[in-house]
Structure 1
Amino acid sequence: MSRPATFTPPPGVHALRLHTARGEFAALEAAAQGQRRGTVLFLPGFTGSKEDFISLHEPLAADGYRTVAVDGRGQHESPGPRDDETPYAQGELARDVLAQADAIGTPVHLVGHSLGGQIARAAVLLNPSPFVSLTLISSGPAQISVSQQQRAKLLRDALAVMDMAEVWEAMQAMEPPEDTDTGGLDTGLDDRADLRRRWLGNSPAQLIATGRQLCSEPDRVAELAALPLPKHVLSGDEDNTWPLPLLDDMAVRLDARRTVIHGSEHSPNTDRPKETARALADFWNQIQERH
């Protein structure tokens, strides 16, 4: 679980309900300052939320980008069935992204973190026309590492017999907060409460379905490489979900820009937000200069 710096939107960032042809989604938005250069749509990862990008809005707005981060269907504050996995099939989630892009106004720079990157890829493969570019943050070419597959299976098994509150307590008991990837907490009591509230907002069916997807995702890099869309592979300098050599190789296969944010791990967007925002804006600015 990513640990946002805060769950409280900073000045210039406001919460909204994004109404689309496929339902309503919770979102955070910031308007571009000065000359507008483009619109960005952020998709969070497994057990994550729109708040995982909360520290990117201000620097990107200052660089002329309107930014919108969403909770996907069944994530945090976006509604979704809690006992039916059907709406969380990857194709359905990809169609949600196309509807979100249409609702905020295309063309869009699409950014997906981890699971969100694989959903973003699926959306682009369904219909690339709404998108100016695709950035994959810590999101690999196929299934997650064996160690993370084991963790995902453990979570799926727990959700089959326990409710969300019980699973949360079990995760906290199993590992020190600073060491766990699925339940890590900041030191403040407010952080603990916010992370628990976010966890409880997730649909169990969504977690089960998307966790299974992470463990079985096929390699679709060749399909994506065939699209004439600028691509960017960004990560930290450590990652136990997709090892860096896999991400490096994927970037080569995609002919994509490759950025490594030093001093960060699986979530450079929360670990090093200023550096991540700068890397994203540099990529998008370069696209604009070419045209």
Structure 2
Amino acid sequence: MPKATSDRFSRLHKDSQSESSSARNPIFNTERFGQHILKNPQVAQTIVEKANIKPTDIVLEVGPGTGNLTVLILEQAKQVTAVEMDPRMAAELTKRVQGKPSQKKLSLIIGDFVKADLPYFDVCISNTPYQISSPLIFHLLSHRPLPRICILMFQREFALRLGREAEYRIMVSSIRQCATIRKGGLCDACGEFSGESGPRDPPPPVRFEEFDGLGRIVFSRRNKTVHGNFMAKGVVEMLERNWRTWCSETNQIIEDDVNMKAKVEKILDDTGNSENRAAKMDVDDLLKLLSAFHDAGIHFA
């Protein structure tokens, strides 16, 4: 894609206003970062309304783009922290609020959200870059203290997964569909998805990194058996390295002829999960499996 010129970005705000009125093309695709800029004011207003922002709230916005959502959030929130990957978009957003009262309420972080150290926030709103949907969810869930609510836009297929799969349900107490969106505005047809979710509070008594590591193995191939996923190339070797590290840190004797494959298979058999398929497992199944591995000194992070 040709490099954008400054003239092009100076026209974005005017273009968004003119095009949103016709509602012919509510989403502008920036291929470099997989980001989609909302241009339909009805969609942006609906997302902000669903957040029920209080005047005392600090809001985290992920992927603000040129600020079509940001300017609406700034009208209601005490403070907004926006995390933007694209420096060009960050510059446009800065220019958009420059000299206005809302400028003092906006803090901008330029960089990768998944790697960013997040400050305190009460509410998260995101027109999520689709390529970071899953990492974004887990990064939000690992943040402390927990936010009150998250209003997130995803592709419909991913959004539907959030409500039915244990790898997400273990950390999220409630997920509710707010609206489905397509070109032209709000509708009941397929397209992008705006969802509302609340983290479990208190969260499950497990380290997030441990559960995430287990989930990556179990859900790597959802329709395969759990045994098949653990026997995939490199998994047993990785678990043995983790086990040896744990033994070293806890002054445990390391067996000379350890058979990690047999250890893993015994745990799967003893917990009754060997022939289970990931798509059929629930939260209790995963917690019991994780506990059994930990009892054997096998960790995932």
- Regarding TM over 0.5, the answer is no
- TM-score of the superposition, structure 2-length normalised? 0.30
The one of the two structures with greater contact order (alpha-carbon pairs below 8 A, sep at least 6) is: 1
For normalisation by structure 1, the TM-score amounts to: 0.31
Larger radius of gyration: 2
